[in-house]
Amino acid sequence: MNDYTLTIKTNEKKGVLDNITDVITNHGANISYVHLFVERNNMGSINLELEHVNDIDELVGDLEGIPDVKLVELHGSQLDIYGKRIIIVGGGAQVSQVAMGAITEADRHNIRGERISIDTIPLVGEKSIAEAVEAISRLPRVSALVLAGSLMGGEITEAVKKVKEESKLIVICLNMPGSVTKYADLIITDPIQAGVLAVMSIADTAVFNIERLGDNIKF
């Protein structure tokens, strides 16, 4: 059994999505992620991440047999292509430095067969950062969060507590004033080192194990 990504183009009609999910369910596959939108030509585009697929050729054939399905494209899973994700959130200057360390370290591991991708979003303001942190639980493939700022607490801290309760997310933050440092797995002064350790903490090809350090470690 394998994981796959399907892109399905359909007529934009009521009930088409139900027919597609019925076929997938009948094949015993699980939908782990879905993204859909309507294109300008009134065609529906559905991207599906599927798990536990027994016979992908038979599944594609049955999907193509649905009258309103116009095209089914088969891809490798997003995990195989883009791999684990690190999200870096905070002020622009700090984010860029963390990203420099993370991208350099990710390149070293990806050369050896890893797939680690780095996403960044420079944001200002407690509410904006808190919303971005809370939304991470709704994003696929996120393994680590780096909070790169000079002062974080309040709503940001509550958002960090929430995402850590909902997932096994590793949280690394820069050494800064504010209560968010109480809930980080690692507190690091140097932003470049923060990016490097974020990658090392999720890479299968690294010997670094964040759990062996204990909780709330400061560098």
Q: What is the CATH number of the domain that holds 42?
A: 3.30.70.260
Residue 150 has pLDDT above 70, yes or no: yes
Q: What domain range includes position 204?
A: 82-218
Question: Is there a single domain that holds both residue 140 and residue 91?
Answer: yes
Bridge partner residues of 44 (DSSP) = 10, 38
Triad 161, 88, 111: Cα angle to 5°: 125
Cβ distance 170 to 191 under 8 Å? Answer: no
- Whether residues 72 and 109 share a domain: the answer is no
Q: Give 156-209 pLDDT, tens digit per residue.
A: 999 999 999 888 899 999 999 999 999 999 999 999 999 999 999 999 887 777
Same domain, yes or no: 111 and 17: no
Residue 1 pLDDT > 60: no
Q: What is the pLDDT of residue 215?
A: 62
As for how many domains the chain has, the answer is 2
Summarize pLDDT for 102-134 with one digit per residue, the tens: 999 999 999 999 999 999 999 999 999 999 999
Taken in order 181, 187, 192, 197, is the CA torsion positive or negative? Answer: negative
Do 107 and 184 have their domain in common? yes
Q: How does residue 216 score in pLDDT terms, banded at 50, 70 and 90?
A: low
Same domain flag for 55 and 100: no
Q: Is the pLDDT of residue 100 over 80?
A: yes
Residues whose CB falls within 8 Å of the CB of residue 204, separated by 6 or more in sequence, listed in order: 114
Strand stretches in the chain, DSSP E: 2-11, 30-38, 43-53, 69-76, 84-90, 116-122, 142-148, 170-174, 186-188, 217-218
The pLDDT of residue 24 is above 90: yes
Q: What percent of the chain has pLDDT over 70?
A: 95
Q: Give the separation between CA 22 and CA 152, rounded to whole angstroms.
A: 46
| Domain's final residue, options 46, 77, 108 | 77
Does residue 56 sit in the same domain as residue 159? no
Report pLDDT digits (tens) over 60-90.
999 999 999 999 999 877 878 888 999 999 9
The length of the chain in residues reads 219
Question: Which of 130, 91, 100, 85 lies closest to 194 in space, CA to CA?
Answer: 100
pLDDT, position 2 = 78
pLDDT at position 166 is 87
Q: Please give the pLDDT value at position 168.
A: 85
Per-residue pLDDT reduced to its tens digit, 37-59: 888 788 899 999 998 898 999 99
| Statement: residue 29 has pLDDT above 80 | yes
